[in-house]
């Protein structure tokens, strides 16, 4: 989850610098696509399991 947040932050920073350097728009778009795909893959992979540590209460 932290990795996805770092990717989102990186995409936002690259979009901000994209106004100054047009080549960074491409890099920002790639990072954003990777973030969206990772988020979608993560959501699909945990379907039906419920909470991650729901059964580990002591």
10 in a domain, yes or no? Answer: yes
Three-state helix/strand/coil letters over the chain? CHHHHHHHHHHHHHHHHHCCCCCHHHHHHHHHHHHHHHHHHHHHHCCCCCCCCCCCCC
21 in a domain, yes or no? Answer: yes
User: Phi first, then psi: what are they for 23, rounded to 5°?
Assistant: -65, -25
In tens, the pLDDT along 22-38 reads 777 788 888 889 888 88
Q: Which domain holds residue 33?
A: 2-43
Q: The pTM is what? A: 0.47
How many domains does the chain divide into?
1
39 in a domain, yes or no? Answer: yes
17 in a domain, yes or no? Answer: yes
9 in a domain, yes or no? Answer: yes
Residue 52 has pLDDT above 60, yes or no: no
């Amino acid at each position: 989850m932290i990795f996805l947040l770092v990717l989102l932050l990186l995409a936002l920073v690259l979009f901000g610098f994209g106004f100054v350097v047009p080549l960074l728009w491409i890099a920002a778009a790639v990072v954003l696509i990777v973030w969206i795909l990772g988020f979608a893959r993560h959501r699909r992979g945990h379907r039906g399991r419920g909470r991650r540590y729901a059964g580990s209460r002591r």
